[in-house]
C-alpha cells in the first residue's frame, strides 16, 4: 500500500489531472499507465544499451532512428507545446508507435490498438511528466501500488470482489511453486498481471542467459497466459508483461468462467487470486464447470475452471475466501471433495485477516493442489500464518527489517547470516517459515526425519544427510503432528469425516493457559487498602 511521501506524490498527480479537466478515474489510470509505459520503455532501452556495451553484444533497439524523440529522456527536455504535439500526433506520433510494438497479429497489438492520448492541455502533460520524473519507480511494486491506489477510488477498492494481491504474498506463492522454463503458466483473473510478472522475475533470476535464450520463443509466445474482460486491465497487463521481456503474452479478452472460455488441459501451473463474492448468470456458465460444482458463485467456479485448464500433473496456488473452506452448501462441499478425493491437495495456508487491508478485512487462505485425475491426497499440510511482515491494521506498515522482508525467498545466494535473520524475525514475519516448511515437506529429507504422521524420528545420521544444512533452524526437527503449532499435517480420512471441511480451526488444537486468581479475601483486602489510600489523599486535599 502507498503511504507517506509516495502517497502524497500520487495525490498531487491525481489533482493535476483533475485541475486539467480529467475527472474520470479509469481515464486517469489509462493515461498514467501509458506515461509510465513510455518512461519504462526508455529505461529498458538504456539498460539494454549498457548491457550490450558491457558484453560487446548487439541488441535489437526498441526505438528506431526516427523515433529518438519518443524516448522519455528526450521528451522531458522538449518545449511544452512541441512535446504535446508529439503525443497528440495520431499519424506518426508516440501513440501510433506504441501501438506498433509487438508482432502485427499479437494480442498485445490487439489491445493497444485502442490506446489513445487523452490529455488535452499541454500544461497538464508537462506537470504530470514533471511529477512522474520525481517519483522513484525503480521498485516494481510501486507501479502496482499506483494502480491499486487509483482503482481503490472505484467502489472502495475493488469490483466484484477483486482486490490487488500484495506483492509479498504473490512472491511467496511463486516461490512455493518454483516455475520452470518448461512451464505454461496461467492466471485466469489476470488483472495487472502481478502473478505472471512475478513468475517471469523468478525465472529470470534462477536461469542463465543461455537457458533463457534457448526458451525465448516459448517465453514470448506460450509461457504466460491469462484471461480478463476489463479493457483497461487488458492493456495494463499486456504492457506490464511487455516491459518484463514477454513480447506476445496470451492475455485473452474473455469472461473466464463463461461458455466463451473453452481452454482445457493446457497449463502446467496456475497462480491466481480470483474474484470473491461475484456471481454469473446460470445460462452463461461453461457446462463442464457446473458438473463439478453447481453454483453461480465465482470463487467456486474458478476452482472448477482451474481443474479443467490444468494438464494432468499441473499444479496450482490460489487464494480463496475462508467461506470456500467451510461452506456447508452442496456446491462448497462438492468442489472441496473434488480437489481432495480426485486430485491431490498439498496444503492450506491460512492468511491473517488484515492482508487485504485497507480495502477489505476478508479472511482468506492459499490452496495448493495438483491435478492428478486419480486422487493422491493422503495428508494435508495446514499452516496458520499469524504475521506477514506488516501491521494488520489499515496502515499496513512494515514491522520487520526491509531487507529481510524483501529477501525472504530462498535464492542460491542466501547466506547463513540472512537465514539467521529470517528465523529471528519469525514472530512478525511468518513467510520464510511457510516457504521453508513447504519445501521440506516436499523434499526427500522429510521421510528420513519424520514418520507418516509428521512425528520426529530418532535418527542416527550426520545433520547434512538429514537436510539440516538446507533449511531454516527448527524446520527439520519440527513436530508436524503437533496441532498446537502453526504447521501441522491432517490425514485425509479425518477431512472426509468432517464433510471435507478445510478450515484450519476445525483441526487446530488451542492450548488454554491456566489463570490463577487470588482468593476473594485477598482481593477484598486489596480493595480496602485502595479505599484507605484514597481517603487519606482526600483528607490532605481538604486541608489545602
Distance CA 280, CA 21 (A): 36
Q: Are 344 and 369 in contact (CB under 8 A)?
A: yes
Measured at the CA of 373, the angle between CA 442 and CA 336, to 5 degrees, comes to 75
Q: From residue 527, how far is each of 494, 502, 519, 534, 538 by CA, in Å? A: 51, 49, 13, 11, 17
Does 537 or 136 have the greater pLDDT score? Answer: 537
Query: Do the domains 4-145 and 165-399 sit in the same CATH topology, yes or no?
Result: no
Enumerate the β-bridge partners of residue 310: 267
Q: Is 4 helix (H, G, I), strand (E, B) or coil?
A: helix
Closest CA to 304 of 336, 262, 329: 336
Query: How confident is residue 172, by pLDDT bands cut at 50, 70 and 90?
Result: very high
Distance CA 248, CA 83 (A): 29
Give the list of residues 6+ apart from residue 17 with CB closer than 8 angstroms, or none.
Answer: 23, 28, 31, 32, 119, 124, 128
Q: Are 275 and 189 in contact (CB under 8 A)?
A: yes
Q: Are 237 and 200 in contact (CB under 8 A)?
A: no
How far is Cα of residue 444 from the mean position of the Cα atoms in its chain?
Answer: 28
Q: Are 107 and 221 in contact (CB under 8 A)?
A: no
Q: Tell me: the pLDDT tens digits for 85-126?
A: 999 998 889 998 888 886 655 666 676 777 889 999 999 999
Indicate the pTM of the whole model.
0.81
Q: Are 345 and 451 in contact (CB under 8 A)?
A: no
Distance CA 185, CA 54 (A): 33
Residue 148, preceding peptide bond in cis (omega within 30° of 0):
no
Q: Are 350 and 298 in contact (CB under 8 A)?
A: no
Write out the CATH class of domain 165-399.
Answer: alpha beta
C-alpha dihedral over 310, 312, 317, 323, to 10 degrees?
A: 80
Most confident of 121-135, 149-163, 345-359, 494-508: 494-508
Quickly count: other Cβ atoms within 10 Å of residue 444's Cβ.
Answer: 7
What pLDDT shows up at residue 411?
53
Query: How confident is residue 142, by pLDDT bands cut at 50, 70 and 90?
Result: low
Continuous H helices in 122-262 = 122-134, 140-151, 167-177, 194-206, 209-214, 216-221, 231-243
Q: Tell me: the pLDDT tens digits for 227-263?
A: 988 877 888 888 788 878 887 889 988 888 888 889 9
Torsion over CA: 248, 254, 258, 259 (sign):
negative
What pLDDT shows up at residue 316?
98
Distance CA 240, CA 242 (A): 6
Q: Would you kindly state where each structural domain of the chain is located, as residue ranges?
A: 4-145, 165-399, 412-499
Q: Is 432 left (phi over 0), alpha (psi -120 to 50) or beta?
A: alpha
**Cell digits for 296?**
453461480
Q: Tell me: the pLDDT tens digits for 188-220?
A: 999 889 899 999 989 998 999 899 999 999 999
Q: From residue 448, how far is each of 283, 359, 460 by CA, in Å? A: 53, 45, 10
What secondary structure does DSSP assign to 56-109, as a single string?
T-----SS-GGGGGGSHHHHTTS-HHHHHHHHH-TTTSHHHHHHT-S-TTSHHH
Q: What is the CATH number of domain 4-145?
A: 1.20.1260.30
Q: What is the mean pLDDT of residues 440-450?
A: 96
What pLDDT shows up at residue 192?
83
Mean pLDDT score of the chain: 87
What pLDDT shows up at residue 156?
41
Query: How confident is residue 161, by pLDDT bands cut at 50, 70 and 90?
Result: very low
Q: What is the DSSP letter of 513?
A: P
Q: Is the pLDDT reported for residue 160 higher than 60?
A: no
Q: Are 189 and 225 in contact (CB under 8 A)?
A: no
Please give the share of the chain, as a percent, with pLDDT higher than 70. Answer: 91
Amino acid at each position: 500500500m502507498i503511504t507517506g511521501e509516495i502517497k502524497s506524490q500520487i495525490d498531487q498527480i491525481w489533482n493535476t489531472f483533475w485541475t486539467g479537466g480529467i475527472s474520470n478515474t479509469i481515464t486517469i489510470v489509462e493515461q498514467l499507465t501509458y506515461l509510465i509505459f513510455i518512461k519504462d520503455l526508455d529505461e529498458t532501452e538504456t539498460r539494454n544499451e549498457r548491457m550490450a556495451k558491457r558484453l560487446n553484444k548487439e541488441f535489437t533497439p526498441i526505438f528506431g532512428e526516427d523515433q529518438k524523440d519518443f524516448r522519455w529522456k528526450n521528451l522531458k527536455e522538449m518545449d511544452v507545446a512541441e512535446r504535446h504535439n508529439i503525443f497528440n500526433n495520431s499519424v506518426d506520433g508516440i501513440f501510433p508507435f506504441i501501438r506498433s510494438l509487438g508482432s502485427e497479429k499479437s494480442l498485445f497489438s490487439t489491445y493497444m490498438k485502442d490506446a489513445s492520448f487523452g490529455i488535452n492541455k499541454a500544461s497538464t502533460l508537462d506537470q504530470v511528466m514533471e511529477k512522474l520524473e520525481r517519483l522513484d519507480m525503480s521498485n516494481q511494486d510501486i507501479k502496482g501500488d499506483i494502480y491499486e491506489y487509483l482503482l481503490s477510488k472505484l467502489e472502495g477498492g475493488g469490483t466484484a470482489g477483486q482486490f490487488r494481491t500484495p506483492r509479498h504474498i504473490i512472491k511467496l506463492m511463486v516461490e512455493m511453486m518454483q516455475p520452470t522454463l518448461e512451464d505454461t503458466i496461467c492466471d485466469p483473473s489476470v488483472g495487472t498481471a502481478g502473478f505472471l510478472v512475478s513468475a517471469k522475475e523468478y525465472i529470470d533470476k534462477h536461469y542463465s542467459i543461455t537457458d533463457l535464450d534457448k526458451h525465448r520463443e516459448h517465453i514470448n509466445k506460450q509461457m504466460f497466459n491469462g484471461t480478463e474482460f476489463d479493457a483497461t486491465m487488458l492493456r495494463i497487463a499486456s504492457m506490464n508483461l511487455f516491459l518484463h521481456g514477454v513480447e506476445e503474452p496470451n492475455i485473452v479478452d474473455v469472461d473466464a468462467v463463461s461458455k466463451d472460455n473453452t481452454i482445457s488441459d493446457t497449463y502446467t501451473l496456475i497462480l491466481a487470486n480470483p474474484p470473491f463474492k461475484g456471481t454469473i448468470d446460470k445460462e452463461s456458465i461453461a457446462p463442464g464447470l457446473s458438473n463439478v460444482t453447481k453454483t453461480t458463485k465465482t470463487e467456486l467456479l474458478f476452482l472448477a475452471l482451474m481443474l479443467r485448464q490444468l494438464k494432468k500433473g499441473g499444479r496450482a496456488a490460489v487464494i480463496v475466501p475462508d467461506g470456500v473452506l467451510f461452506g456447508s452448501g452442496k456446491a462448497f462441499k462438492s468442489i472441496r471433495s473434488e480437489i481432495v478425493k480426485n486430485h491431490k491437495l498439498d496444503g492450506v495456508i491460512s492468511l491473517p485477516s488484515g492482508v487485504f487491508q485497507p480495502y477489505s478485512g476478508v479472511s482468506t487462505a492459499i490452496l495448493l493442489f495438483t491435478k492428478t485425475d486419480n486422487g493422491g491426497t493422503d495428508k494435508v499440510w495446514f499452516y496458520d500464518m499469524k504475521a506477514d511482515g506488516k501491521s494488520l491494521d489499515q496502515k499496513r506498515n512494515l514491522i520487520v527489517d526491509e531487507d529481510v522482508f524483501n529477501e525472504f525467498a530462498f535464492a542460491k545466494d542466501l547466506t547463513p547470516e540472512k537465514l539467521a535473520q529470517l528465523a529471528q524475525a519469525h514472530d512478525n514475519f511468518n513467510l520464510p517459515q511457510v516457504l521453508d516448511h513447504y519445501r521440506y515437506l516436499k523434499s526427500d529429507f522429510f521421510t528420513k526425519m519424520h514418520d507418516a504422521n509428521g512425528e520426529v524420528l530418532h535418527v542416527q545420521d550426520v545433520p547434512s544427510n538429514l537436510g539440516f544444512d538446507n533449511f531454516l533452524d527448527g524446520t527439520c526437527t519440527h513436530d508436524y503432528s503437533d496441532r498446537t503449532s502453526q504447521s501441522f499435517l491432517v490425514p485425509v480420512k479425518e477431512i472426509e469425516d468432517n464433510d471435507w471441511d478445510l478450515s484450519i480451526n476445525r483441526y487446530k488444537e488451542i492450548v488454554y493457559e491456566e489463570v490463577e486468581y487470588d482468593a476473594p479475601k485477598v482481593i477484598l483486602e486489596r480493595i480496602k487498602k485502595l479505599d484507605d489510600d484514597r481517603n487519606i489523599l482526600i483528607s490532605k486535599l481538604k486541608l489545602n
